Amino acid sequence: MARQSPYQPSLLRLLHGLGALIILGAATSGYLIYEEFDGRWGKLGLPATDNIMGLHHTIGEIATLIMLLLVLYSLTLGRSKLVQLSSLKQLAHPRRPAWWYSLHRLTNTFIMGAAILALVSGKQMEGRWLANEEFDHLPYLFHLSAWSAIGIGFIFHILMNLKIGGMPLLMSIFSVRLRHNDTPMQWPGQIQKFLQRRQKD
């Protein structure tokens, strides 16, 4: 029997989709900058793009807002998607099914941390560094490392989804299906209920 796609909260799907799109845009514009100004580890020989640094900066500003919303969601309604103390304990038992779920949460946390590092290091950079071939500044090295980590994390994220739930889980994040109690009108109420539960704990 084919597995049904699980239902993903609509706010998670929205933020996940926006985050994926902005990361794709940042990665594309960032690589074009690397092609034009750096290219020490190989390049495709793509033509230069006008004002690519300005575009990358604009995408970075939008990414900051989206990442802030994602972090707030992940620390509240989506806290189960990130690594927890119990997850670290479960990683010590690789033969148990929970090991894969814990590794998935660890991967999600890793990607979020790498994305935050990419944003913070990017804001510390100066455009003249690349124009002057000053490639040894720490913010630039951290920025490149963060994007490499995001790429690796993305691959593991896909693999973990396939391992845990197969294609139904992987495709569930793209679903536009809404439950009657999970429309945008219910988002404030969902957050309020979470805060009330936290106060009782």
Domains of the chain: 10-195 (1.20.950)
* pLDDT, position 86: 79
Query: What's the whole-model pTM score?
Result: 0.89
* pLDDT, position 201: 64
Distance, first Cα to last Cα, the chain: 40
* pLDDT, position 49: 85
* pLDDT, position 1: 45
Summary mean pLDDT of the chain: 90
Quick: pLDDT tens for 82-118: 988 777 788 888 878 888 999 999 999 999 999 999 9
Minimum mean pLDDT among 107-111, 132-136, 193-197: which range?
Answer: 193-197
